[in-house]
Amino acid sequence: MQPTILNRDVEIAEKNWRAWQDVFEHVGRPAQNPLLADIRRLSRFRNEYGINRTIRKGRHDEFRMRLRDPKFPLVVLLDDASGSMLDRQEGLLREEFGTYDGGHGLRSVLSKVASFLAPHTFVAFDKYALKGLNVTLGRPRSRRFDSYTEYLSDLNLLLDGEVGKQVRDICRNRYPTQYASQRDRFHRRVVDVYLMRVGGRWAPSR
């Protein structure tokens, strides 16, 4: 599929960035990020990003506190640009907190949290984005990704290629903040919107 980044993709990404700017641009310890430090913000996040069903009922705040626990390697996870640490921790947390969600376990939850805490590195592991990535790479829409590491690697290839060039061109002079313009932070948000659109996120229901 010939990639085409639309102005609408940038507009949606900008609206999202401004709505969560204090989270995206937090510069302190990850455990003190408003997304994890404020139970109300995580509750809003869970509702907006559809992750309630991937965490066992009644365990949501416990899950939040586990990520904030000094013993949990949150900093190491966010520093691992390969995504392999995210896969490893998802496997460890799944048995205690996970529910059946179509085979993704807690991977979607952790990837979405990571994409907000470290937007320069991570992008959400979302079912529509998975389909969009496959379509963009000329694969069957339903091809499985066995790990977040695999997904992130393929997405990084997009940013290094024609899709990345289009994103950088269309974003020129349109970044919501100076912080967003650095280290591909906003570019990854735009790519995420693009992939979800291509994957059918906003397609009319039939």
Residue 77 has pLDDT above 60, yes or no: yes
- pLDDT 10s digits, 36-75: 999 899 999 988 988 888 888 888 999 999 999 999 999 9
| More confident of the two residues 202 and 196 | 196
CA 97 from centroid of its chain's CA atoms: 19
Confidence of residue 117 (pLDDT cuts 50, 70, 90): very high
Q: Report whether pLDDT(129) > 70.
A: yes
What pLDDT score does 21 carry?
98
Asked if pLDDT for residue 76 goes beyond 90, the answer is: yes
Mean pLDDT value across residues 125-153: 95
> Which pLDDT belongs to residue 104?
59
pLDDT of residue 100: 61
Tell me: pLDDT of 102 over 50.
Answer: no
Closest to 35 in 3D by CA, of 77, 69, 64, 73:
64
Q: How far is CA 87 from CA 5, 160, 161, 178, in A?
A: 29, 23, 25, 31
